[in-house]
Structure 1
Amino acid sequence: MPSATLTPSVQGPMLSIGEVAARLGVSVHTLRYYERAGLLDVPRQESGVRRYSGREVELLRFLLALRATGMPIALIRRYIGLARLGEVSETERRALLVQHREDVLARMRALKTDLGAIERKIELYDQNHKEPR
């Protein structure tokens, strides 16, 4: 997980938006949307071309994980806003993530229950279609 600070790292090669999209398995459109939504502030060259550092890539990985687990953009925006405040917001960021974890775990429990119902139905179909001996 990325550190609290959102300061881009200057270590490693700077990547184009296309390279980052390919590396993360998302579209260029998604990366531009994240930037427009205020989730990411990507430095640009004088020509206006975005150049992503390793720091931005790792932050994006984390943001994509939050989205994949169902966190709304508004909450991600809140998390990013807090992170930009630095250490003073660590307690609140942690609380936000703890609550999200609880929400994810609750959805996982519900999915497990639903999956059990599906598996039972499949077993019934399998039992009804067994060839007699």
Structure 2
Amino acid sequence: MIKSDDVTSRTPERSSSRNVPLCWQREPNSPTLRVELEDGSMFVFPYIHLAYAVLKSKTEPHEMTVVFATHEVRMEGQQLQKLLLALQKNALESVRFLPSRQQPLAEEDAVWLTTLAVEVNTK
């Protein structure tokens, strides 16, 4: 259970060897997925409304779509299979867009999002 003061005290995870913020957070048994877009918009989706996720990783950048009952979260970037595996375990707590100027500071095998969008599911 998350207490209200826990949310305000939490800081973004950082890469272990460098002081670079990561674009995702992992929390075992998270009840929701929080999505933070480049424009500052934030969405919270309950895992109970998760329909499916699909990852296309044969080409760079990788593409992943996470479909909820009412919305789709679309991502492009590198190492997205880590996000899919966390999502599979209800452990993907949040994803967020970081400025491209921070990408050179990230570790080579880090997850990095080049595109992050939320769309209303029209199906």
TM, length-normalised to structure 1: 0.27
Which fold has the larger relative contact order, with Cα–Cα distance below 8 Å and residues 6 or more apart in sequence? 2
TM, length-normalised to structure 2: 0.29
**Higher helix proportion, which one?**
1
Higher-Rg structure is 1
**Higher strand proportion, which one?**
2
